[in-house]
């Protein structure tokens, strides 16, 4: 297929495909699907071999967000029966993180619901980062706290953060249709602040919210322009009690095409299969590892994933290997550019978000949540949740239920273990 040969050649050269080529990937037929996966796999292996990076989410503060993101179970007015609790103490968060690291996670993603952190919140998260790094030598820490104010990204970096996540989620043209309490430009500004502070920028999207192919291509092109090091691809989890509860628009085949398009547009970045992979990819998850080089281990912020051991077995059975702590995830040209940007930021090249801060990086990665469906920022979140049952709670769908398009609605399970509970995490 000429299209796929062209895309492979461009991916190996880090050359941007045309919009028409990206749209054509999304328009391929099911008969062409394995060819699409194989082509994207060639690009993936060029830059990341057969390594799979494991990431682990710790929900520092859950629920009661003042933002109105339609996809989010923690949004203002959400009736989803999720865990609600205020800030975990640093030692609680460190203990939660240690479970993921023990399971093979190389990066811990610290997420808090709300619009954005106060300076006191930044100090609190800084202490948490220090506690995690003291207990787990060599672990990467990514913070995801919502919209950042000037200087906050620098303080997080000084505290030991390696990366900052803030997802664009969807195209600029359709953003106003999913959120009214902040803008697409606000999100772009926060990603730029993280970059300027020398943090690795993690920013991605949510597919399945009713967007068009054009919207998907627009947001992925915007992510490449923002020079994100890692791009989490979330597949909407339609929580009962949220405005998008009935949006079951994805099939496993559609998910694979979206991942392939992201890989072709962002060939040398960490493409992460994030929230919703178990719900929408289902038995085709191992095939997706031929495209993406990163996943979350175990549970997400407010929903449950498959068992951590099942993730490890899936990786091994598919012929891949877990990326070790001593291995640099990004290709050398990107890792070197990130190091240069960090050094420039440390040298005092202006405030966060300033234009022209440091050398231009030759780069092309929970909701705002770190690869998940979480609104971005701060706000009170109530007390600690009561200890919960060990039985996974669905969003109300009957066991074995399917939507009209074959979607497994019963696979949406609200998290009832791990951070914020007295039960062991799924790692």
Which of the following is catalytic: 44, 69, 107, 357?
A: 69
Greatest Cα pair distance in the chain: 58
Catalytic, 65? Answer yes
Is 337:361 a contact under the CB 8 Å cutoff?
yes
* Calpha distance 264→11 (Å, rounded): 6
Catalytic, 381? Answer no
Is 261:292 a contact under the CB 8 Å cutoff?
no
Beta pairing, strands 413-414 & 393-394? antiparallel
Six-digit token pair at 11? 């991916």
Catalytic, 109? Answer yes
| Number of CB atoms found within 10 A of residue 207's CB | 26
The candidate with the shortest Cα–Cα distance to 229, out of 109, 362, 46, 374, is 362
Catalytic, 277? Answer no
Which of the following is catalytic: 14, 44, 65, 416?
A: 65
Which of the following is catalytic: 75, 109, 334, 378?
A: 109
Which of the following is catalytic: 75, 142, 257, 334?
A: 142
Angle at 56 between CA 97 and CA 379, to 5 degrees: 75
Look-up of token digits 């930021």: 345
Catalytic, 142? Answer yes
* Calpha distance 210→208 (Å, rounded): 6
Is 233:367 a contact under the CB 8 Å cutoff?
no
The candidate with the shortest Cα–Cα distance to 40, out of 82, 84, 3, is 3
Is 94:127 a contact under the CB 8 Å cutoff?
no
Is 259:271 a contact under the CB 8 Å cutoff?
yes
* Calpha distance 270→290 (Å, rounded): 13
Look-up of token digits 């490890």: 312
Six-digit token pair at 65? 């967000």
Q: Give buried/exposed letters for 67-94 (b at 16+ CB in 10 A, else e).
A: bbbbbbbbbeebebbbbbbbbbebebbb
Angle at 412 between CA 367 and CA 168, to 5 degrees: 15
Alpha helices in 291-392 (DSSP H): 308-317, 332-346
* Calpha distance 271→105 (Å, rounded): 16
Which of the following is catalytic: 272, 277, 416, 417?
A: 272
Is 204:274 a contact under the CB 8 Å cutoff?
yes
Q: Which residues are catalytic?
A: 65, 69, 72, 109, 142, 202, 272
């Amino acid at each position: 297929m000429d299209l796929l040969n062209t895309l492979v050649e461009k991916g190996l050269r880090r050359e941007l495909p045309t919009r028409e080529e990206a749209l054509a990937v999304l328009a391929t037929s099911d008969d062409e699907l394995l060819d699409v996966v194989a082509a994207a796999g060639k690009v993936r292996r060029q830059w990341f071999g057969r390594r799979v990076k494991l990431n682990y989410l710790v929900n520092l503060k859950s629920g009661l967000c003042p933002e109105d993101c339609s996809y989010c179970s923690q949004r203002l007015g959400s009736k989803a029966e999720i865990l609600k609790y205020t800030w975990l103490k640093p030692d609680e968060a460190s203990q939660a993180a240690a479970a993921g690291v023990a399971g093979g996670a190389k990066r811990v993603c610290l997420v808090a619901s709300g619009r954005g952190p106060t300076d006191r919140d930044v100090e609190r998260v800084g202490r948490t980062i220090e506690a995690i790094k003291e207990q787990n030598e060599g672990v990467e820490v990514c913070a995801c706290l919502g919209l950042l104010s000037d200087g906050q990204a620098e303080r997080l970096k000084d505290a030991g953060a390696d990366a900052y996540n803030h997802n664009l989620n969807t195209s600029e043209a359709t953003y106003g249709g999913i959120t009214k309490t902040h803008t697409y430009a606000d999100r772009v500004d926060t990603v730029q602040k993280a970059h300027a502070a020398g943090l690795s920028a993690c920013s991605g999207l949510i597919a399945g919210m009713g967007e068009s192919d054009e919207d998907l291509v627009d947001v992925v092109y915007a992510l490449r322009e923002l020079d994100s090091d890692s791009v989490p691809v979330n597949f909407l989890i339609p929580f009962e009690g949220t405005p998008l509860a009935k949006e079951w628009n994805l099939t496993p085949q559609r998910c694979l095409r979206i991942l392939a398009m992201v890989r072709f547009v962002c060939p040398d970045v960490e493409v992460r299969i994030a929230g919703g992979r178990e719900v929408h990819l289902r038995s085709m998850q191992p095939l997706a590892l031929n495209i993406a080089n990163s996943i979350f281990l175990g549970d997400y912020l407010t929903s449950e994933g498959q068992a951590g051991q099942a993730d490890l077995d899936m990786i091994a059975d598919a012929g891949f290997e877990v990326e070790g702590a001593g291995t640099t995830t990004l290709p050398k040209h990107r890792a070197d550019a990130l190091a240069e940007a960090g050094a420039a930021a440390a040298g005092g090249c202006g405030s966060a978000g300033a234009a022209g801060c440091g050398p231009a990086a030759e780069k092309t990665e929970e909701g705002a949540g770190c690869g998940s469906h979480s609104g971005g920022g701060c706000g009170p979140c109530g007390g600690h949740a009561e200890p919960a049952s060990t039985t996974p709670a669905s969003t109300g769908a009957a066991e074995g239920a399917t939507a009209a398009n074959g979607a497994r609605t019963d696979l949406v399970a609200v998290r009832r273990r791990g951070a914020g509970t007295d039960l062991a995490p799924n790692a």
